[in-house]
């Protein structure tokens, strides 16, 4: 399972889609949740690598910090979405 997560988690693809720091107002709740799931997968993969891999680098630690900041931004954008009026 770890190999699958490692292969599927691609932080650069998530960052490109939502342009870290941009305020893409066209992003739907589903798109934001999908991006948040991807970022969460990246964080878990990197945390496992930092915890168990003697070859983990400072770049991995920096990347996990960047992914955490991006996750916080996505959560903020989700919270800012207007409530559904059904």
Q: Please, what are the averages of pLDDT over each run of 10 residues along the chain (86 residues)? A: 48 51 67 96 93 88 95 95 67
- On whether residue 11 sits in a domain, the answer given is no
- On whether residue 20 sits in a domain, the answer given is no
Tokens 């991807």 correspond to 38
Cα 55 to Cα 2: distance, rounded to the nearest angstrom: 17
pLDDT of residue 43: 95
- On whether residue 72 sits in a domain, the answer given is yes
Domain that holds residue 64: 30-78
- On whether residue 62 sits in a domain, the answer given is yes
Angle, helices 11-18 vs 58-80, to 10°: value is 40
pLDDT of residue 55: 85
Number of structural domains found in the chain:
1
């Amino acid at each position: 399972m770890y190999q699958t997560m490692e292969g599927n988690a691609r932080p650069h693809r998530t960052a490109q889609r939502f342009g870290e720091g941009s305020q893409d107002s066209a992003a739907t709740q589903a798109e934001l949740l999908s991006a948040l799931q991807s970022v969460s997968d990246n964080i878990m993969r990197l945390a496992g690598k930092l915890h168990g891999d003697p070859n983990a680098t400072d770049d991995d630690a920096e990347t996990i910090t960047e992914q955490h900041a991006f996750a916080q931004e996505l959560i903020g954008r989700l919270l800012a979405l207007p409530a559904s009026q059904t």
